[in-house]
A and B are shown apart, each in its own frame.
Chain A
Amino acid sequence: DAEITQSPRHKITETGRQVTLACHQTWNHNNMFWYRQDLGHGLRLIHYSYGVQDTNKGEVSDGYSVSRSNTEDLPLTLESAASSQTSVYFCASSESFSGSVSSYTFGSGTRLTVV
């Protein structure tokens, strides 16, 4: 069965370190997204991609980067981790439809703690 997997499930890192969170999907979806979820803020979009070599900034992109070298993967990198980036991170993917926004399939999330 097709799936979307995130790794690791939990991560503790120190301030200033570079951290990469993995997202891998086998749905063959063109669209992939990274969100962070914090109490009081719901889900906020970090970065997204509509296909290979395409990346775009979301509303909270500062301190984060992504790259899309193939259809299946969209890794999220925290360049220099800060305590404000302690959060739960969700990856999602969706089909690409002209003129419409399709539903998302979400991963199980990565809980990141920056100490």
Chain B
Amino acid sequence: SQQGEEDPQALSIQEGENATMNCSYKTSINNLQWYRQNSGRGLVHLILIRSNEREKHSGRLRVTLDTSKKSSSLLITASRAADTASYFCATGLRGGAQKLVFGQGTRLTINP
């Protein structure tokens, strides 16, 4: 079963609006990462947040992590058409294994 589940599965907004995607997971994590995938391409790493961090910023991206609720959110501010893509959360589990478990992704469409 998937460790991470993104919500919503699909999101469509107007250019310039903010987009928020959520991720829930089931077990204790070492860190949580967000990736972007443009259609027909590989995934690209966006941001990593460690389990002892609560918030992290990178440009127009803001990620929050609530380990008590086992959830994370990705906020993209002032969206652009180029932000149209699928976004995946991935969890790095505690215990030494260096593999990531991916959610099913949120499909984000930015309308001009």
Contacts and interface: CB of A to CB of B under 8 A. Distances in A.
B78 interface: no
A102 B30 CA distance: 10
B41 A42 contact: no
A99 B93 CA distance: 10
Interface residues of A, number: 28
Interface stretch (A13-21, A64-72, A78-86, A105-113): A105-113
Nearest to A41: B104
A103 B33 CA distance: 7
Interface residues of B, number: 26
Given A108-B42, A109-B41, A100 B99 contact: no
B42 A101 contact: no
Interface of B: 2, 30-31, 33, 35, 40-45, 48, 88, 90, 92-93, 96-105
User: Which applies to chain B's interface (DSSP): helix, strand, loop or mixed?
Assistant: strand
A48 B99 CA distance: 8
Interface of A: 31, 33, 35, 40-45, 48, 50, 58, 90, 92, 94, 96-97, 99-109
B99 A106 contact: no
B30 A100 contact: yes
Contacts of A43: 43, 88, 102
B107 to A, nearest CB: 11
Given A42-B104, A101-B92, A106 B44 contact: yes
B98 A94 contact: yes
Contacts of A31: 98-99
Contacts of B48: 103
Contacts of A100: 30-31, 92, 98
A42 B103 contact: yes
B98 A101 contact: yes
B2 A42 contact: yes
A54 to B, nearest CB: 11
